Structure 1
C-alpha cells in the first residue's frame, strides 16, 4: 500500500488538525456553488494545509484558486474530474498535478463538455416529456451569473431549477425522481473509458485516481478498472463512503499498490443543504501530495 498513514478522517473528526488536505472539491467552473477562491478561503478557515480543485471536465477554475492559495498561504492542487463510462455505469476519474495549460488536454476536455451539453439538452427534453416546462435558458438564468468560457452546466444546476419550479422538494428529491441513474429523466451519453481518462491524465503529466468507488455499487468493475488502467490511486475516503467501504478499498489499495486518497466532494450548499460534504469534512494527510507527485507519469 502506497501510504504514509493508516486512515482518513470523516465528519466528526477534528478537521482542523494541521497537515491535512481535502482532495476533492468543485467550484462554479463546473457544478459547484462557490468561485474557486472561495473554496480556498473555506479550506483555510477549516485549518486545512491543502485543497484540490477538481471540477468536472474543466480546469478553468485552477488559476484563480492558485492565486488564492498564495493569498491564504495554503497549497492548491491543480486537478480535474473526468467523466467516463464502463460496465454500464458513469465512472469518474480524478487527475492531480496535471499540466492545466497543455493544449491537448484542453481540447480533450472541451470535447467532454460538448458531450455534457448534449446530455443536458436530452435531459431537458425528457423532463418536458414528463410535463415539466423547463428550458436551458431557465437553468442558466437560475444560476444568477454569466457562464464563463470553459465552464459547464451540470445536473445540480438542472436540479436547482426543478426545485424552483416545484417539481422537486429539494436537491435529493430532484435526483431521486429525475436525474440519478435509473430515474425518469436520466441520460447517459457515450463516454470515453476510464482507461482513456487515465491515459489523458498521464499524458498531461498527472496522476490518475479512481473517484468514490463505493458509489458505483460494483466492486468487480472497480477491480477490473484497477487491473486494466494506469491508475495511481483510489479515493478510499469520501463523503458517501462508510467504514465498510473504507475497509474494502484499503484492501484493494493494498492489493494493487494504489495511493490512498480522500476528499469531501464539496459542491457547496443548495437549498441550505451541503451537497456530498463540507470542505474538510473528509481529509487525508498532506503526505499523500508527495505520493501523487511521485506517481505522475
Structure 2
C-alpha cells in the first residue's frame, strides 16, 4: 500500500541541505510521466528532479495514478520527500478546469472508479478523433497512438500529435495540434470531463487536498477565479511555468485573502511536446510544502 506522503520533518530538510551542497530546499509538485502525456517513466522523472537538487516532488499525471508507485519507490530510495498526486480534467460550465490533487490515497475505491471513468472517456475521444482524421484522408491506428503510453495510463491528444509526427505527416508535435486536432480544426473533438465540484469531492474522499491548477493560464479560467474560489478548494497553484511574476504575486495575495494553501510546479512533460524540458523552471519554496504536509496531517488526525 502506498501512503499519501513520504517525507521527513522540517529539521531534516535543513540538515539534508547542509549535508548535500547541491540539494536546495525546493519542491516541484506538478510533474508528468509517460503514464499520461509526459515522455519519461516515473522513476526517471524523480531521478532528474533529484539531479537538479529538488528536495520534494509530486507526480500529477492526467486522470491517472498508475505512475505513482514507481515514482514513490524511487523517491524513497533517493531520500526525497514525495506526495501522491493527480491532475483531474474537469469542467466549470463550458470551460475546462484542471484540479490538482495532492496527498491522496491512491488505493481509494471512489478515486480509482472516478479516474477510470475519465480514462474511458479519453479513450472514446481518441477513437472519435481517429475517425475524423480518416475523413481528412489520414489513416492512423490505436497501436501507433498507444505505443509511448505506459500500461494503465491516460491517453490524450498529444499521443495522436506524436503519432502524426512519427509518421512524417507533421514536422513537430505542435503542428499536429495546429493543423488537425486543436479547437476549430477538422479533427477536433471536445473533451468530456467531470464537473469541477465532483473532481474536488473525489480528491477529498481520497483524503487529499484539492488545488486549482495553473489558474493564470489561458484566457477563460483567470476570468472565473472569483467564482471558482467559492468552491471548496484547499489551495491555489500560484507558482507555474506559464505564470508571469505579476500573476504569481496576485495569486499569492488571493491565497492569503481566502486562507488557501499554495502549491507550485513546472508542469513538466519532459520532451513530449518540445525539445527542452521545463523541469527546474519553477522551484516551490519548502515553506509552502511544509504547510501542505501540516494540512494533510490535520486531515488524517480528524479522520483518525
What is the TM-score with the length of structure 1 in the denominator? 0.86
Instruction: Tell me if the contact between 2:23 and 2:55 (Cα under 8 Å) persists in the aligned partners.
Output: no
Aligned with residue 195 of structure 1, among 194, 197, 201: 197
1:165-204 alignment, distance < 5 Å: 165-204=167-206
Higher deviation after alignment, 101-110 or 158-167: 158-167
Q: Select the residue among 206, 226, 230 that pairs with 2:229.
A: 226
Write the distance in 2 (CA, Å) between the matches of 1:252 and 1:129.
Answer: 47
Report the equivalent of 1:33.
39
Match of 2:129 among 123, 126, 133: 123
SS in 1 for 2:31: coil
Q: CA deviation at 1:248?
A: 3.2
How far does residue 185 in structure 1 lie from its aligned partner after superposition? 2.5
What's the CA shift string for 1:26-56, capped at 9, x where partnerless? 1111111111111110010000001110011
SS at 1:83's partner residue?
A: strand
The runs of 5 or more residues in structure 1 that have no matched partner are 1-15
Q: Could you tell me which residue of structure 2 aligns to residue 238 of structure 1?
A: 240
Shift of 1:284: 0.5
Report the 3-state secondary structure (helix = DSSP H, G, I; strand = E; otherwise coil) of the residue aligned with 2:84.
Answer: strand
How far does residue 251 in structure 1 lie from its aligned partner after superposition?
A: 3.1
1:263 is matched with 265
**What SS is found at the alignment partner of 1:23?**
strand
CA distance in 1, matches of 2:23, 2:134: 48
Conservation of the 8 A alpha-carbon contact between 2:38 and 2:269: yes
Q: CA deviation at 1:17?
A: 6.4
| Cα gap change, 1:19 to 1:31, in 2 (>3 Å) | same
Alignment partners' CA distance in 2, 1:181 and 1:282: 29
Displacement of 1:272? 5.7
Q: Give the Cα–Cα distance (whole angstroms) in 1 for the partners of residues 290 and 170 of structure 2.
A: 44
Aligned positions of 1:1-297 closer than 5 A: 18-141=24-147, 143=148, 147-148=150-151, 150-218=152-220, 219-227=222-230, 229-270=231-272, 273-274=275-276, 277-296=277-296, 297=299
Q: CA RMSD in A?
A: 1.9
C-alpha distance in 2, partners of 1:179/1:248?
A: 33
Aligned residues of 1:155 and 1:179 also touching (Cα < 8 A): yes
Q: How many residues in Structure 1 have an aligned counterpart in Structure 2?
A: 275
Q: CA separation of 1:185/1:247 partners in 2, compared to 1, >3 Å: closer, same or farther?
A: farther
Q: For residues 235 and 227 of structure 2, what CA distance do their matches in structure 1 show?
A: 14
Q: Which has the larger radius of gyration?
A: 2
Q: CA–CA distance in 1 between the matches of 2:140 and 2:164?
A: 8
Tell me if the contact between 1:207 and 1:293 (Cα under 8 Å) persists in the aligned partners.
Answer: no
In terms of mean alpha carbon deviation, does 240-249 or 278-287 score higher?
A: 240-249
* Long gaps (5+) in structure 2: 1-21, 300-304
State the secondary structure of the residue aligned to 1:273. Answer: coil
- Check the 8 A contact 1:51/1:76 in 2, yes or no: yes
What is the deviation of 1:271? Answer: 7.0
1:169-224 alpha-carbon deviations (Å, 9 max, x no partner): 21222222333344443322332111111111111100001111122312232221
Paired with 1:192 and 1:170, the residues of 2 have a C-alpha distance of 31
The structure-2 alpha-carbon separation of the partners of 1:87 and 1:216, relative to structure 1 and needing over 3 Å to count, comes to farther
Deviation string, structure 1 residues 65-103 (Cα, Å, up to 9, x no partner): 111012111112110011111232221100000011111
Tell me the TM-score normalised to structure 2 length: 0.84
Contact kept, 8 Å, 1:22 with 1:283, in 2: the verdict is yes
Q: Which moved more, 1:170-179 or 1:18-27?
A: 170-179
